[in-house]
Amino acid sequence: MKIPTSDPVEIDIDAIHKALANPVRREILAWLRDPEVYFPDQDFPLDQGVCAGKIDARCGLSQSTVSAHLAALQKAGLVSTKRVGQWAFFKRNEPVIEAFLAHMNAQL
């Protein structure tokens, strides 16, 4: 169910709930909240996001599994992706996260 918000942000409540139902995805979001703490050795500036390879390494799961988790987070709008050459960088989509939290706070 897509919910319009007072901001120009539209959130898909069902996709977000589905994404957050998995503990690995919640952990990835927590790591992306403080990338300086969890990914200090990244060669690229963290302001563009965290390289998918660094997230793979931290998860300790297969690349395809981590890729599926990142795709679910992206589909829900919880993370944004930036491609630079052959690399994909992920960062939290704070406006969507804030809109989701505000919606949940108001509705429950």
- Its domain, for residue 72, covers 9-107
- Contacts of residue 95, defined as CB under 8 A and 6 or more positions apart, other chains included, come to 7, 9
Domain assignment present for 3: no
Instruction: Tell me the per-residue pLDDT of 5-15, one tens digit each, with 9 for 90 and over.
Output: 555 678 999 99
Which tens digit of pLDDT belongs to each residue from 14-72?
999 999 999 999 999 999 999 999 999 998 889 899 999 999 999 999 999 999 999 99
What are the helix (H) ranges across 1-108? 13-20, 23-33, 35-38, 52-59, 63-75, 94-107
83 pairs with which residues across the strands?
88
1 lies in some domain: no
In a domain, 2, yes or no: no
Establish if 4 belongs to a structural domain.
no
Identify the CATH number of the domain in which residue 15 sits: 1.10.10.10
Give the helix/strand (H/E) hosting 82: strand 79-84
Task: Give the pTM.
Answer: 0.88
Please count the structural domains in the chain. 1
